[in-house]
Structure 1
Amino acid sequence: MRFELPPEKLCRTFDPRDFRCETTDQVQPLNRIIGQDRAVRSLHLGLEIQSRGFNIYVSGPPGTGKMTAIQGFLEELARGKTPPNDWCYLHNFQDPYRPKVLALPAGMGRALQRDAKVMIARVRADIPQAFESKEYVDRRTEAGDWLSKERESIFEELGSKARQAGFALQVTPMGILTIPLVRERPLTEEEFRGLKEEERREIARQREAFQEEIREAMKRVLNSEKVLQERIQAMDREVALYVTGHLVDDLIEKYGDFPQVVQYLREVQEDVIGNLDQFRPQAQAQQAPAPPVAVGQDLFFRRYEVNVVVDNGHRQGLPVVTEWNPTYSNLFGRVEKESQMGALYTDVTLIRGGSIHEANGGYLVIPIEELLRNSFSYVALKRALGKREVTIEDLGESLGYMAMKSLKPDPIPLDLKVVLVGPPMIYQLLYNADSNFSELFKIKADFDTRMEVNEENVRDYVAFICTLCTRERLKHLDARAVARVLAHSARLAEDQGKLTTRFSEIADIIREASYWATQGGVRYVNGSHVQKAIEEKVYRSNLIQERIQDMFKRGIFLIGTEGARVGQVNGLAVISLGDYAFGKPSRITAALGLGRAGVLDIEREARMGGPIHTKGVLILGGYLTEKYSQDKPLTLSARLVFEQSYEGVEGDSASGAELFALLSALSGVPIRQGIAVTGSVNQKGETQAIGGVNEKIEGFFDVCRAKGLTGDQGVMIPASNVQNLMLREDVVEASRQGKFHIWAIDTVDEGIEVLTGLSAGERGADGHYPEGTINYLVDKRLRETAQLMRRFGADGPTPRAREDET
């Protein structure tokens, strides 16, 4: 029959001999992105331009392996490059609430941290020893003896003056008492009371006069004690400088090229000297550390620790960090707090960096869906990229919700590339709704879902299979298994000239095929194992399809696969269950009558038809008008419906089938029920490609096989869909045996010939179609209808038409 496709057109196969290998373990593994030249060029551009805002959004549907590909691409790009700086936080001795940030070459942060810890440990051990040394104790005793002698001399001199003034001195806890003397003997209280009033007054006057001598003497004592304290402080400072000097000097010599480190070491030395009581044996802190409450002695010494928030000493290149859970604290770090004696305490050692700190100097990869689930993270990321610096602070503080005083570490300069990975829709939404997004993510890297079938891409595909099997320790594939994988890839791509780049789906099939090969106890995966994996995947998901097929077989769903009927045709639809899609035939009928209502879509009237389906039905009116209404008004009242349709109808892929049912009803010529139709049409009568062609053909084939193949059954598709055919082997074999057929048409006229066996007929020079053709019969029917309408005097629109117009 005309327009029938040969079996070799129904599915593309791959020759195992073209792979130049017998098994995939003979192939060199692949370590680059394949089939994504456009995306790779975009990535190179975005990563090489260092100007502000040239961050990257990697766009592509799920399953294309873009996240894995991006990680591998960035790791390869980062390998061998000089690692970025370490980042540390230091205690700020001038303002403890604002820790200082320090950048050091990779690896030196940990070295400084260790050196500082060793230095303080040595200081804590050496200072008590120095204070307990014989030399220090002797000098301290000598200083104390000097003070004792000074005090003794001062009090002897004061006592002599007191006796001359007629008083004796008595030292008490309340101070120095002056007791009157009579004949060099102290007066008792009773004797003092027995004196005359004038005598008592005179004694009081003399006592008052002598108080100035006492005050002067006490000043001298205090001055002596002050001198002693200064001498002791000088001795302590001398000891502390002696103990810390060589330790600090050694580190200054080591880190002399870093002025900030040298300054910090000097500040540490001065702070140690200023807090010697903390280092004395069994000493208790004389003053509390600044933030935020009094704490134990051990916590005091944490001020001298170096907090390395980013350590790049172990890296062999630039950092590549993927943050799968981009919460605010995971991205931007946090200032932790500890509970001490019922109060919250924090210090410089409790500052923690986030993934943005870890990636600084390199690359940070974030799934956009996860980032948008944490809206505060998205806002903070934009702020950090805009300012080119990142500050560690509590989320509540950054939003202005917290008034509690806490640390405010210095910001860290940012120099990194952020790569967001997500679907195209989110990119479009952000680009249109967020003005900052386009300024910060100037590069879009689009990942395609398909790539061309050519020698290079096939070779890369085989190498990808080798890489997967090697990395995951799967059984390698032989050449026939590879050919079957490539055929399945073309099936997923829905194109004989394309291969899918949804590598996650391909990888799953290979993993399952390896399992079946292991179950079979063979060394290599062969084609039957791949086919088994494909079939098992279908079986796990096609329960609903089997239920529907059973309902067709039992006659619950009405579908004709034999004979011919007027105004009735088998249309095809695709039902998608997310992980699985299958074709389902539906009976489409057309009913005619007198009137001017035109072509009425019952699905639309029942609010079960979508806008695209409605558009397809309206196009039918345009086709009929141009084809048959050049010499007469189009007088028609037709009803189109999907029988037993309960889930709604959307799409225009059935518009061709609806038109054929309508032409059959108008011409009175029956349509072969063993043929199902899919494809849309335009107003010029040309057929147009549709999606899901393989599932639709296989769905009708399964129904025909269940009811019994007669050799007259098949599916008619648009010729533009031939390139999309990747049918199952059982369908191809049935075609090869002449039990099932596929027809490809370009026009409505070709399709009606296949369905009815009659020629469509072309309009002659006289404006008429050849007698006996389908177009002749349709034109005749429409002419007769127009005449009948005039005979009945239907000059105005029909009631139904009036309703439609309103």
Structure 2
Amino acid sequence: MKRELTPGEIIYNIDIVNSDEFNNSIMPQYEDIYSKLTQVIDIDKSGYNIYIVDDFTKEKLEDIIQYIKKLYVNKINPKDICYVVSKDEKAPKAIIIDHGKGNFLKETVEEIKKLYTDFIYNFYNNSSNDKEKEVIIDSIQKKKNELIDNLIETSHNEGFEIKTTNEGFSFIPKKENELMTESDYDGLSALEKDNILTKIKKLRVESKNILDELKIIEDVEIEKIKSIFRDYFEIKLKSKKEEYAERFKDNKEVYVYIESIFEDIEKNVIDNYSINYDEDEENIINTISKYYVNVIVDNSKNSTAPVIYEEDPTVNNLVGTIEYENHNGNYITDVSLINAGSILKANEGCLIVRMDNLVNNPSAYYYLKKVLLNEKVTFDYNRGYLELISLNGLNPEPVNIREKIIVIGDYNTYHMLYNYDSDFKNIFKIRAEFKPDIKINNKNKAIFYSYIEKYLENNNINSIAPSALNKLAKLLSRKAENRNKLFIDEVEIDKILMLSNNNAEKNKRNEITEEDILKAISSYSIVEDEFLEMYRENKILMDVRDRKIGQINGLSVIDTGYISFGKPNRITCTCYKGDGNIIDIQKDSNLSGSIHSKSINILKGWINNILGDYRKLTVDFHLCFEQLYGKIEGDSASVAEALCMVSSLSKIPIKQNIAVTGSINQFGEIQPIGGVNEKIEGFFNVCKIIDTIEDKGILIPARNADSIILKDEVEEAIKNNKFHIYTMEGINDAMDVMMGNDSLNSYKIIKFAKEEIDKYKIGNDV
């Protein structure tokens, strides 16, 4: 049914009110996301991670982080993660220890190292520690002195001077109690030389026997000292070792590790004991110093589970790194150079990443999947060039993890991964979508008010006048293309409020007014201005006064991505005897998109339905969008094209003061279209430039009535009965508005059209 909309149905009016009842309520568009976030956190099972389909903003991220932190309030405190050196320095062991105890373990190990360093030094160098050890050492020294003295005496008796060397002893012959020189030796007879060599050989055998005997004596006696050393460790350090181990009695893994340090240090030092500290010092230092605790994740300052956002999800940032240092041209590393990535830092908590950043690092996505599937972090990815040329690469033990991953991305990426990556659906079992449109009701108006107040407070922005807030709401309804909804675009809201606040401050106002909001949302487009100039100069032909046969004013939207505006278009149609074809000039010129081509085929079905009577039409229709040279897409001009065809055939003119937009199906029903506000305002602006707005109007689908949210100027013209908006539910309504009068309705128009068809059928082409 055709009807003209009243000003009350068109003029947008909303009253955003405050209510303490909903101050802390979640914005409705987040309800699905937050509900599923709660579900994900509650399900302690692998694979229950979440992909949030949404545009990313810092404000949304912060809201999500704060919400998850609230969910974690009553959860257990997160544990620390350490890498420790056990027996194999190249294979650090991973230890997960209670919250805040990582550094305590590190301090304990350092205390143990100092304890053993001091204790061992004292055992070697302090004779008062154990009398039995000193007796044994004195006994060894005494026996050593006796044997060497005997060897010296024997050497002197045989006429030789004895000297000690690194290899043992050397024997130098003497002549008249003086050391024989080389020339003296050369002056000896062969028999004398043979005699000297025989004696040296005998002395060497005797010296070897003495050294062997000394070695046996030392080995026997050192074993006695080792036994004393062992008992010394056991007795003197017992209480200290028990104290250190007791610190970690509740963690069996750490307790065993501490015990292994005691065992390994004592065994290594005792096994390599040689009495002389200087000789043993290097081994002692190496044995003790290798023990090190690297607390790669310290949660001592975190009272709840961590919630971490990784802004740059590279492999290194996600998994972690093993660094290398250059020492004299050699690249070396050790346990202290292992660094945790954000996955480990978020263990027992939640890690948030943006999918577009993740897919820009394909290897990072691969390793994230690997971590989630195996539930452990390995550093095998780090085996690169430096490890190939280094002397001591590491093979750290994998770290078991248990955490939730939140990915924020777009629908297209989700669709692609879900359908083409078989692992994706197993590791992201939950999907949540941001719904930007919220219904306008008392609760949501109060929540929106609270949201704006919170935003103003957080950003130190002036307060906002009620009328200004209503104007902001009007813009958001316009973006939703529904006067009963608000489109919560946080980026747009941020921009408008910032610009409005800036304008208020420039004008020395301490409150954002309606004027400030209007200035912030006003848009100027050079492209739109150039089009309007072409209408003004009559370079784009447009009639907004008369009635014309086969000619109608249609409406389109120019959308640049950052601004959109309506543009009226003249659509024309001619017809002549033919085979019932609709010739679309745009399509034949390759200027038609697939949707527009479909709409032409629908028109063919419709025109045959009302005029054909099961017989083939004998008329061809020639449709053209005049002065349009770009590609046309969409079906919102199909009502205008249908009216043009009927007008051309029936010879009944169409009103040019009313523009039309709408989509038609084969049964003549009118379907809603997009961009209705831009189209109305576009025709309004052109009428204002080339004529007047009085007695002008727009015909739109009835189903678009709740999409109307117009600029104040257009609303004012409608209020003053200068500009009109009509609605249609079927093509007959459109005919009545665009072609009818008091004595001519749609049924008569169709009748005239059929009569013209009949003329063509009998060959009376007029």
Provide the TM-score with structure 1 as the length reference: 0.84
Is 1:359 paired with 2:377?
no
Q: Within 5 Å, give how 1:51-70 maps onto structure 2.
A: 51-61=45-55, 67-70=61-64
TM-superposed deviation, 1:712: 1.8
Is 1:171 paired with 2:165?
no
- Cα distance between partner residues in 2 of 1:434 and 1:663: 53
- Cα distance between partner residues in 2 of 1:62 and 1:655: 38
Aligned residue in 2 for 1:193 = 189
Is 1:310 paired with 2:297?
yes
- Cα distance between partner residues in 1 of 2:2 and 2:483: 23
Aligned residue in 2 for 1:735 = 718
Aligned residue in 2 for 1:113 = 106
- Cα distance between partner residues in 1 of 2:288 and 2:151: 48
Aligned residue in 2 for 1:74 = 68
Aligned AA for 2:419? N
Decide whether aligned partners of structure 1 residues 696 and 151 sit closer, same or farther in structure 2, where only a CA change above 3 A counts.
Answer: same
Contact persistence 1:334–1:394 (CA under 8 A) = no
- Cα distance between partner residues in 2 of 1:386 and 1:240: 47
Q: Within 5 Å, give how 1:424-435 maps onto structure 2.
A: 424-435=411-422
Q: Within 5 Å, give how 1:322-721 maps onto structure 2.
A: 322-395=309-382, 406-535=393-522, 538-539=523-524, 542-596=525-579, 598-630=581-613, 632-721=615-704
Identify the match of residue 757 of structure 2 among 782, 787, 800: 782
Contact persistence 2:332–2:393 (CA under 8 A) = no
Is 1:254 paired with 2:229?
no
Aligned residue in 2 for 1:10 = 10
1:743-802 CA-partner distances (Å, limit 9, x unpaired): 111111111221123479789xxxxx5xxx32122112222222228x99xxxxxxxxxx
Decide whether aligned partners of structure 1 residues 322 and 464 sit closer, same or farther in structure 2, where only a CA change above 3 A counts.
Answer: same
1:434-463 CA-partner distances (Å, limit 9, x unpaired): 111112211111221212111211111111
Is 1:154 paired with 2:147?
yes
Aligned residue in 1 for 2:26 = 32
TM-superposed deviation, 1:326: 0.9
Q: 2:51 aligns to what SS in structure 1? A: strand
TM-superposed deviation, 1:112: 1.9
1:327-370 CA-partner distances (Å, limit 9, x unpaired): 11111111111111111111111111111111111111111111
- Cα distance between partner residues in 2 of 1:589 and 1:77: 63
1:99-144 CA-partner distances (Å, limit 9, x unpaired): 1011111111122223334554566677667766574799998776
Aligned AA for 2:759? E
TM-superposed deviation, 1:300: 9.2
Q: Within 5 Å, give how 1:169-248 maps onto structure 2.
A: 170-172=161-163, 173=165, 193=189, 213-226=206-219, 248=241
1:70-113 CA-partner distances (Å, limit 9, x unpaired): 333212212342222111110132x2221101111111112222
Q: Is the deviation greater in 216-225 or in 417-426?
A: 216-225
Contact persistence 1:481–1:525 (CA under 8 A) = yes
Decide whether aligned partners of structure 1 residues 63 and 732 sit closer, same or farther in structure 2, where only a CA change above 3 A counts.
Answer: farther
Q: Is the deviation greater in 309-318 or in 346-355?
A: 309-318
Q: Is the deviation greater in 221-230 or in 183-192?
A: 183-192
- Report the identity percentage: 28
Q: 2:3 aligns to what SS in structure 1? A: coil
Q: 2:561 aligns to what SS in structure 1? A: coil
- Cα distance between partner residues in 2 of 1:479 and 1:661: 47
Q: 2:635 aligns to what SS in structure 1? A: coil
Q: 1:102 aligns to what SS in structure 2? A: strand
Q: 1:473 aligns to what SS in structure 2? A: coil
TM-superposed deviation, 1:518: 2.5
TM-superposed deviation, 1:679: 0.7
TM-superposed deviation, 1:28: 7.2
Q: Is the deviation greater in 342-351 or in 119-128?
A: 119-128
Decide whether aligned partners of structure 1 residues 126 and 161 sit closer, same or farther in structure 2, where only a CA change above 3 A counts.
Answer: closer
Q: Is the deviation greater in 715-724 or in 255-264?
A: 255-264
Contact persistence 1:623–1:682 (CA under 8 A) = yes
Contact persistence 2:162–2:172 (CA under 8 A) = no
Aligned AA for 2:146? S
Q: Is the deviation greater in 41-50 or in 415-424?
A: 41-50
Q: Is the deviation greater in 379-388 or in 721-730?
A: 379-388
Decide whether aligned partners of structure 1 residues 179 and 374 sit closer, same or farther in structure 2, where only a CA change above 3 A counts.
Answer: closer
Give the number of equivalent residue pairs: 756
- Cα distance between partner residues in 2 of 1:112 and 1:643: 82
Decide whether aligned partners of structure 1 residues 122 and 196 sit closer, same or farther in structure 2, where only a CA change above 3 A counts.
Answer: closer
Is 1:49 paired with 2:43?
yes
1:393-442 CA-partner distances (Å, limit 9, x unpaired): 335569x9999962121111121111111112221111111111112211
Contact persistence 1:678–1:716 (CA under 8 A) = yes
- Cα distance between partner residues in 1 of 2:201 and 2:287: 51
Provide the TM-score with structure 2 as the length reference: 0.88
Decide whether aligned partners of structure 1 residues 185 and 269 sit closer, same or farther in structure 2, where only a CA change above 3 A counts.
Answer: same
Decide whether aligned partners of structure 1 residues 608 and 783 sit closer, same or farther in structure 2, where only a CA change above 3 A counts.
Answer: same
- Cα distance between partner residues in 1 of 2:287 and 2:670: 83
The RMSD of aligned alpha carbons is 3.9
Decide whether aligned partners of structure 1 residues 551 and 247 sit closer, same or farther in structure 2, where only a CA change above 3 A counts.
Answer: farther
Aligned residue in 2 for 1:101 = 94
Aligned AA for 1:669? I
Decide whether aligned partners of structure 1 residues 349 and 746 sit closer, same or farther in structure 2, where only a CA change above 3 A counts.
Answer: same
Q: 2:553 aligns to what SS in structure 1? A: strand
Decide whether aligned partners of structure 1 residues 28 and 621 sit closer, same or farther in structure 2, where only a CA change above 3 A counts.
Answer: closer
1:583-614 CA-partner distances (Å, limit 9, x unpaired): 11111111222222611111111111110000
Decide whether aligned partners of structure 1 residues 404 and 637 sit closer, same or farther in structure 2, where only a CA change above 3 A counts.
Answer: farther
Aligned AA for 1:586? N
Decide whether aligned partners of structure 1 residues 28 and 521 sit closer, same or farther in structure 2, where only a CA change above 3 A counts.
Answer: farther
Contact persistence 2:27–2:447 (CA under 8 A) = no
- Cα distance between partner residues in 2 of 1:123 and 1:434: 55
TM-superposed deviation, 1:504: 2.7
Identify the match of residue 263 of structure 1 among 256, 269, 282: 256
TM-superposed deviation, 1:685: 0.8
Contact persistence 1:758–1:774 (CA under 8 A) = no
- Cα distance between partner residues in 1 of 2:614 and 2:395: 86
- Cα distance between partner residues in 2 of 1:282 and 1:732: 99
- Cα distance between partner residues in 2 of 1:181 and 1:664: 143
Contact persistence 1:62–1:423 (CA under 8 A) = no
- Cα distance between partner residues in 1 of 2:431 and 2:179: 105
Decide whether aligned partners of structure 1 residues 134 and 498 sit closer, same or farther in structure 2, where only a CA change above 3 A counts.
Answer: same
Aligned residue in 2 for 1:291 = none
1:20-78 CA-partner distances (Å, limit 9, x unpaired): 57xxxx89753634334333333333332223322111123567975444333212212
Decide whether aligned partners of structure 1 residues 246 and 325 sit closer, same or farther in structure 2, where only a CA change above 3 A counts.
Answer: same
- Cα distance between partner residues in 2 of 1:90 and 1:263: 12
Q: Is the deviation greater in 343-352 or in 79-88?
A: 79-88
Contact persistence 1:91–1:100 (CA under 8 A) = yes
Contact persistence 1:79–1:317 (CA under 8 A) = yes
Decide whether aligned partners of structure 1 residues 252 and 209 sit closer, same or farther in structure 2, where only a CA change above 3 A counts.
Answer: same
Q: 1:711 aligns to what SS in structure 2? A: coil
Q: 2:423 aligns to what SS in structure 1? A: helix
TM-superposed deviation, 1:375: 1.0
